[in-house]
Structure 1
Amino acid sequence: MKNYKYKVLIMAFVVAISSCTTDDLEPTLAQSKSVEQSVTKVDNLYSILKGIHSLMSGSGYYGQDVIITNEVRSDNTFSTGNSGRFTTESQFLYNNNSDLIWNNAYEVIANTNIIITADLENLEGDTDYGRHIQGQALTIRALAHFDLLREYGQQHTGSGNLGVPVITEYKGEDLFPSRNTIDEVKAAVYNDLETAFSMMDSQYDNTNVIVSKYVAKALEARVAVYFGDWPRAVTASEEVINSGLFSIIPADSYVSSWAADGGPNVMFELAATQTDNAGINGLAYMYQINEDGSGYGDVVATPEVLDIYEDSDVRLNIMDTEGEFIRNVGKYPDNVNFTSNIPLFRYEEVILNYAEALFETGGDALIQLNKIPANRGASLYSEATKENILLERRRELIFEGFRFDDMLRTGMNMEAIGTNGVVVEVIDYPSYVFAWPIPLSEMNANSNMVQNDGY
């Protein structure tokens, strides 16, 4: 654990160097001072924040692994092994030699802690803006802890109550922290999000490629749905909806919206430019193969995916069904310059979270549920059932990494799928393979770390 608490001492500024010069950092990196001493301005906090967003967009986090891994372990997709990638994940054969997102997520957390613990009163600049930046960092810290919990926590293994270490200090005294319980991690996530929302001011939100105030509530709703905290999910969703800042993308703009940046439905997306992207290790290359043969195209849809859509549903148009496999070509479409942004929070997810939470609490879920198909060229539902809500989530959020968690939180069995698309094993819920192994490097470095069962 010492590794991820100290290795960002220089990285925090290196990843943000494009947004600030050495003159902006007092003292500069060349003087080998600690990060805390180098932060003298509120603008320095913003530079670190931008660097955090860049870290999140890397292939070892949202730029590929966390999304693809959770798609190929669901009934949405599998890996053909065209380039040898994601076959072990698709077949639930992974082991502790891989760290998945462990190091990357904790690197993000370490950087957020630099911002969160900064003493604003001693910094040059707008203190209110500094509080807003700290709220943004708290939101990202909550997201990273939640990501770690859903990948490594034991909530779906049937074997224990261990979550992941909650880290709230940069360079804290505890170099070898133990795993917190699932409930402790959840409480820490909720606490960060409540604090973040109270600290942020919407007047500073002028872009959707940086975390904004209402993303904190969208994330709170996501976490609450995951854990079945339904009243909380209702309240958090309503905060977003009542803000009036977002809307569902209409049917005639649905496909084209994925090739454009932003949009009225995009609450937060990670930016990709020609100079800053995951390239051939990104989402587009993993989903697609171009006419010239470029692209790995390992991850393809299962044949049953076509059966969940009506012919009139515009969401079918993001898929190429002409070849041997069904491919995602519409979401993250730029397979040449790799400039497709990665939406992490769309308003449509909030509406679906709200519909499910209303269903679970006796509210009018049908009106909310039907807002999605009404904007997709699909038939409306005659009733709101758990099955219909999960079906609409699958239709709307396919290829974005949500389905695996939806299946787990509702206790579904999983199918391990071979490279030929044939089911090789049905894995009953719960199972130890539904939690990723703690990386071997972490087990060797931290004597207090406990491995998940089965590894």
Structure 2
Amino acid sequence: MKNNKIIMLLLASMAIIVGSCTTDDLDPTLAQSKNVEGSITKVDNLYSILKGAHNVMTSEEYYGRDLIANNEVRSDNAFSNGNSGRFTTQSQFQYNANTGFIWDDVYEMMSNANIIINTDLSSLEGDLAYGEHIQGQAMILRALGNFDLLRVYGQQHAGGTLGVPIVNTFKGDDLFPSRSTVEEVKQAIYTDLQTAFDMMDSSYDTSKILVSKYVAKALESRVAVYFEDWGRAVTASEAVINSDLYSVIGADAYVSSWAGDGGSNVIFELAFSGSDNLGPNALSYIYRYPSDAPAGYGDLQVMSDVLDIYDDGDVRLGIFGFQNEGTELRNIGKYPDTAIGADNIPLFRYEEVILNYAEALFETSGDALTQLNLIAENRGAVPYTSVTKEDILNERRRELIFEGFRFDDLMRTGQSVNTTGVLENTVETLTYPNNLFAWPIPISEINANSNMQQNDGY
């Protein structure tokens, strides 16, 4: 085993434990494959595996902390002050092929999804229509995993064309998969999302802590904006908007909404609770100063000029606060529970879809102004009278700060990025494109797979 993680798959009345390590995530052993295949007899078994896939996403090495924190600390929103020695490597772009486990966690999640997707529903007991819906949910997760891998390891911002391996089976014939191109991975994502949307029945969507039918379109709009597929972004965003299932949270409830779960603006969120949480490895701990929080590591400090991007009456100012005797600007409003880190983490909010829609409309000569003002007017900010690309990117920054979007927005618009030292000092300016904008493939994967090509510079 290359690490101690395991996947708990609750199948029927028994648990099958699938060992997790770098190569196992891509290609589980034949014995594991047969073990899993022989244990799926009911649609309810698929539901248990689906919950397992969601659980992997809550890991601190994935959406529970690192993926979000990495994209903030490498941007103009935040930096690592090294208070506990965490995230200085990322803030200064000094990672190497031994840094982080995002690769492992994503392929672990997708191995669960692939079990569900490749199951023959006709052989199962139970509601087969619900089984088809679950398979659609698994396709959404696989698409999200591929997009996450592409954002981290793809060469699209490093001057290359390589993406990540596309793995569509739990146990396939290709034991040593090569990297597909960025374009191939993008098309695989779009295919999964459209297939999922077409096969899912929204009547089965009863919870926001599992991916639902319209998460497929919310994710499609996100991916399309990332790759500047503007027409697709318009259509996908409109599908979410026209569902009439979600709404922008009002100004009076904006700050308090972060302490609650399942708000009207939440499309999908990861579940944490008093009994199931990351404790000191939670996202809240890395944002808050230890003596003020009442607990935390406090490594992620907000850039001192961030407050300047907000209007005086903007309610989003309420998520900021000064800690450490008033010397350090902090995120204190998003993910506020530092006692145990029991806050749910929204991964898809309706406000992001509106911002995606506004940008796509701007790029296609549509009415971006109306959409952008849906956000500004519900935040106590000065309404826009006209719209520029910079306005849209700045509004995204104000609305989505601390949620892990900013680095990707800088990348997709071809901007330079500063590496920041522990004293908020600029160490170096990295011009676009740059090999440091793509993480290295983990060395364990390089050593185990002779077909795996490392990113340049590592």
Q: TM-score, with normalisation over the residues of structure 2?
A: 0.93
2:252 alignment partner, SS class: helix
In 1, the alpha carbon distance for the partners of 2:241 and 2:399 equals 18
- How far, CA to CA, are the matches of 2:338 and 2:121 in structure 1? 42
| Native 8 Å contact 2:294 2:339 kept in 1 | no
Question: Unmatched 5+ residue regions in structure 1?
Answer: none
4+ residue runs over 2 A deviation = 289-294
CA contact (8 A) 2:294 2:338 kept: no
- Write out per-residue CA displacement over residues 154-191 of structure 1, whole angstroms, 9 at most, x where no aligned residue: 00011x20000010000111111000000000000000
Pairwise CA distance, 1:300:
1.1
Deviations 1:13-51 (A, max 9, x none): 1xx58xx743xx7x999x986111101100000001011
Task: Determine the C-alpha separation between the residues in 1 that align with 2:312 and 2:331.
Answer: 17
Q: Secondary structure of 2:7's match?
A: helix
Alignment partner, residue 207 of structure 1: 207
CA distance in structure 1 between the aligned counterparts of 2:98 and 2:342, rounded to whole angstroms: 31
Residue of structure 1 in register with 2:23 after alignment: none
Structure 2 counterpart SS, 1:425: strand
Tell me the equivalent position of 1:115: 116
Q: Which whole-Å CA distance do the structure 2 matches of 1:202 and 1:267 have between them? A: 13
Aligned counterpart, 2:178: 178
State the percentage of identical aligned residues: 62
Q: Does 1:237 align with 2:198?
A: no
**AA paired with 1:277?**
N
State the Cα distance separating 1:3 from its structure 2 match: 8.4
Write the letter of the residue equivalent to 2:451: N
Instruction: Identify the range of structure 1 (289-298 vs 334-343) with the bigger mean alpha-carbon deviation.
Output: 289-298
Equivalent pairs, count: 442
Q: What's the counterpart of residue 41 of structure 2? A: 40
Contact 1:73 1:89 in 2 (8 A): yes
Match of 1:332 among 325, 331, 335: 335
Which secondary structure state, in structure 1, belongs to the residue aligned with residue 155 of structure 2?
coil
Is this contact kept in 2: 1:248–1:264, CA < 8 A?
Answer: yes
The match for 1:310 is 311
CA shift, 1:291, in A, is: 2.9
* Cα distance change of structure 1 residues 3 and 421 upon mapping to structure 2, 3 Å threshold: closer
Name the aligned partner's letter for residue 316 of structure 1: L
AA in 2 matched with 1:312: G
Q: Distance in 2 between matches of 1:316 and 1:293?
A: 21
- Cα distance change of structure 1 residues 307 and 191 upon mapping to structure 2, 3 Å threshold: same
Map 1:403-418 to 2 at 5 A: 403-418=406-421
Aligned twin of 2:27? none
Does the C-alpha gap of structure 1 residues 450 and 254 become closer, same or farther in structure 2, counting only changes over 3 Å? same
**Is the 1:209–1:268 Cα contact (8 Å) retained in structure 2?**
yes
C-alpha separation between the residues in 1 aligned to 2:64 and 2:38? 31
In 2, the alpha carbon distance for the partners of 1:133 and 1:3 equals 31
Equivalent of residue 396 in structure 2, options 390, 393, 396: 393
TM-score, length basis structure 1: 0.94
CA contact (8 A) 1:374 1:380 kept: yes
User: SS in structure 2 opposite 1:370?
Assistant: helix
Name whichever of 61-70 and 269-278 sits farther off: 269-278
Distance 1:249 1:148 in 2: 30
Contact 1:28–1:38 under 8 Å retained in 2: no
Aligned AA (1:424) = V
- Please, what is the CA RMSD of the aligned residues? 1.9
For residue 358 of structure 1, what is the aligned residue in structure 2? 361
Q: What's the CA shift for 1:350?
A: 0.1
Matched residue, 2:161:
161
Paired residues of 2:393 and 2:409 also in contact (CA < 8 A): yes
The equivalent residue for 1:383 is: 386
Partner of 2:194: 194
- The residue type paired with residue 423 of structure 1 is T
C-alpha contact 2:78 2:301 (8 A) present in aligned 1? yes
Letter in 1 for 2:398: R
Partner of 2:91: 90
SS at structure 2 position matched to 1:34 = helix
Secondary structure class of the residue paired with 1:393: helix
The amino acid that maps onto 2:222 is R
Q: Deviations over 1:281-311 (max 9, x none)?
A: 1101000124376210100110111100112
How far did residue 325 of structure 1 move? 1.0
| Alignment-mate amino acid for residue 407 of structure 2 | F
Partner of residue 22, structure 2: none
Shift of 1:338: 1.5
Deviations 1:187-211 (A, max 9, x none): 0000000000011111000110000
AA in 2 matched with 1:39: I
Kindly tell me: are residues 71 and 292 of structure 1, through their superposed partners in 2, closer, same or farther at Cα, counting changes over 3 Å?
closer
User: Structure 2 CA distance, aligned partners of 1:281 and 1:28?
Assistant: 24
Find the counterpart in structure 2 of residue 440 from structure 1.
443
C-alpha distance in structure 1 between counterparts of 2:309 and 2:293, whole Å? 31
